[in-house]
Amino acid sequence: MIGILGLQGDVSEHRSYLLSRYPSIRIVKKPSDLIGIQGLVLPGGESTTMTKLIRSSGLEDPVRTLLLQGLPVWGTCAGTILLSRGGIWPVVEAEVERNAYGTQLHSRVARGRIAGKDVFIPMVFIRAPKIVHVSNNVEILALDEGNIVAVRQGNAILTTFHPELTPDEPLFVDLFLNAVTGSRPPSSMKN
Amino acid sequence: MNTEEKNLVNRGLAQMLKGGVIMDVTTPDQARIAEDAGAVAVMALERVPADIRKQGGVARMTDPTIIKAIQSSVTIPVMAKVRIGHFMEARILEALEVDYIDESEVLTPADESHHINKHDFKIPFVCGCRDLGEALRRISEGASMIRTKGEAGTGNVVEAVRHMRTLMQDISRVTAMSIDELPACAKELGSSLELLREVKQLGRLPVVNFAAGGIATPADAALMMHLGADGVFVGSGIFKAQNPSRVAKAIVEATTHFDDPVVLASVSENLGSAMEGIEIPSLSQDKLLASRGW
């Protein structure tokens, strides 16, 4: 069972993206929804709104406990902010700058590069944050114009773009599912 | 950016707002209250619809000074309204880099025949509708997001309910229809056949659809979510209430937990008096905003 934080944001897009490759998904809105989940997805949305709703719904502490126990987690866009320094669950040693590209006029679709490979995939950036600094414990997974746009530390994966909006490209969802099923190969990303 | 990419990012921003509340604000202070309450975006306005209704006169795009002050006071997206058909107001808002433009019947229409050709812009638009035909006409003009019109500034949810129910009934009718019947239906609705095919295939609008117009309480917001809205706009309902911050927070909670009556009961407590409402039949025909646009 994989949970998707369902308080606000593009929850249904993540749900259909995951359902195309994994059979059981649960929308998480309250602490009891966490029982039995093997992975958690934090969708795109507004991080300020989500943070308030996480606190008021009583999810802050139980999710933190699960993350510290190593629960696989994948944050896209707003989810990245929640899982980085200054976020509500800072399990990744990364610093992010919110809305770093500017207003919606600067949102765009790019062809970003998978780190260490000559592979480019479409990446949708919507009022995206920038990962401006990472510690040595953080593995850089993808880059766009010199900016870090995807990272991994332990079982946590962050993408500042929206893989769920380009569902034909399964690279990142597969990476997360590998973490969930425990078969994490050294990397589908580095051959 | 090609059209497909533009749709991905512009419809995409609306997808990121789902499950959230977009609040009308007229000052930086109000914008901060909205953000603190958990709004996913603010709509920067000179006057809320209830005041436009009361004071009358021509309602226009907001002064850029106010929009800029609101932009610099919050980190959430800032939207602003233009008059129906007023593409120059839209050019100005695009230059100001607001995040979304609402081509809105709440302002006095500038063109009674033509809506803005929204394909011409890089910035996304949201438009109002009362039924499926109207929604698809706006989408074919380039709208990236749809909202029901409701009857803004009344604090009365009845028109928003009517428009959302009509839209949803239209969609379920189209979904159940055979392919052969779609052209006649497109003719009847006054919409593009191509978009109608997409609705049939998806079982919903191809863009995000919020509720707007008359939402004043947490229960109103939850009602609209149950009827199929992806999120809600609250205009006068917040800053015309006795305790704006508390009402704003409660409506945010109610929109998220619309399917949990226990949460709804607890957030509805002690909110003070809601905005004063208006009975729709008491309004003369020329005071109805929803009938503006086609």
Task: Look at B8 and A12 and tell me if their CB atoms are within 8 Å.
Answer: no
Looking at chain B from residue 164 to 223, which residues have their Cβ under 8 Å from any Cβ of chain A? none
Closest Cβ–Cβ partner in B1, B75, B123 for A108: B1
- Please give the pLDDT value at position B204: 97
Q: Pick the residue of A13, A52, A97, A123 with the most B CBs within 10 A to test the interface with B by mutation.
A: A52
Q: How far is A183 from chain B (nearest CA, A)?
A: 31
A 129-158 residues with CB below 8 A of B?
Answer: none
CA geometry: angle B69, B103, B238, nearest 5 deg: 55
Question: CB–CB of A105 and B97 under 8 A?
Answer: yes
- Which parts of chain A register pLDDT below 50? 184-191
**pLDDT on residue A160:** 98
Tokens 């005071």 sit on residue: B287
Whether A127 has its CB under 8 Å from any CB of chain B: the answer is yes
pTM reported for the whole predicted model: 0.96
Given an 8 Å threshold on Cβ–Cβ distance, is A125 in contact with B9? yes
Neighbours of B266 (CB within 10 A): 13
Distance CA B271, CA B220 (A): 14
Q: Looking at residue B129, what is its pLDDT?
A: 98
Residues of chain A with Cβ-Cβ distance to B40 below 8 Å are 8, 45-46, 49
Indicate whether this complex's ipTM tops 0.90. yes
Other CB atoms within 10 Å distance of the CB of residue A42: 32
Chain B nearest-CA residue for A42: B16
**What is the structure's pLDDT at A185?**
43
Instruction: Name the maximum alpha-carbon separation found in chain A.
Output: 44
Q: Where in the sequence numbering do the catalytic residues of A fall?
A: 77, 162, 164
Does residue B248 belong to the interface with chain A, where contact is any CB pair within 8 Å? no
Query: Is residue B287 annotated as part of the catalytic site, yes or no?
Result: no
Contact A104 B10 (CB under 8 A): yes
Q: What is the 3-state secondary structure (H, E, C) of chain B?
A: CCHHHHHHHHHHHHHHHCCCEEEEECCHHHHHHHHHHCCCEEEECCCCHHHHHHHCCCCCCCCHHHHHHHHCCCCCCEEEEEECCCHHHHHHHHHCCCCEEEEECCCCCCCCCCCCCHHHCCCCEEEEECCHHHHHHHHHCCCCEEEECCCCCCCCCHHHHHHHHHHHHHHHHHHHCCHHHHHHHHHHHCCCHHHHHHHHHHCCCCCEEEECCCCCCHHHHHHHHHCCCCCEEECHHHHCCCCHHHHHHHHHHHHHCCCCHHHHHHHCCCCCCCCCCCCHHHCCHHHCCCCCCC
Taking the C-alpha atoms of residue B130 and residue B206, their distance in angstroms, rounded to an integer, is 16
What per-residue confidence (pLDDT) applies to B63?
97
Which amino acid appears at position A87 of this protein? G
B129 interface with A at CB cutoff 8 Å: no
Give the amino acid at A170.
P
A88 vs B: CB within 8 A: no
**A interface mutation test: which of B126, B256, B257 has the most A CBs within 10 A?**
B256
Does residue B1 belong to the interface with chain A, where contact is any CB pair within 8 Å? Answer: yes
With a CB cutoff of 8 Å and minimum separation 6, the contacts of B166 are B130, B131, B132
User: Can you give the pLDDT at residue A184?
Assistant: 46
Residue by residue, pLDDT tens for chain B (294 residues) are: 899 999 999 999 999 999 999 999 999 999 999 999 999 999 999 899 999 988 989 999 999 999 999 999 999 999 999 999 999 999 999 999 999 999 999 999 999 999 999 999 999 999 999 999 999 999 999 999 999 999 999 999 999 999 999 999 999 999 999 999 999 999 999 999 999 999 999 999 999 999 999 999 999 999 999 999 999 999 899 999 999 999 999 999 999 999 999 999 999 999 988 888 898 888 888 888 999 998
Pairing of strands B100-104, B125-129: parallel
pLDDT tens digits, one per residue of A109-162: 999 999 999 999 999 999 999 999 999 999 999 999 999 999 999 999 999 999
Q: Distance from B249 to chain A by nearest Cα, in Å? A: 10
DSSP assignment of A49-95? HHHHHHHHTT-HHHHHHHHHTT--EEEETHHHHHHSTTSSS--S-EE
SS3 A186: coil
Contact B9 A124 (CB under 8 A): yes
CB distance A70 to A38 below 8 Å: no
- Spatial separation of the C-alpha atoms in residues A121 and A119, rounded to whole Å: 7
Mean pLDDT value across chain A: 94
Amino acid at A117: K
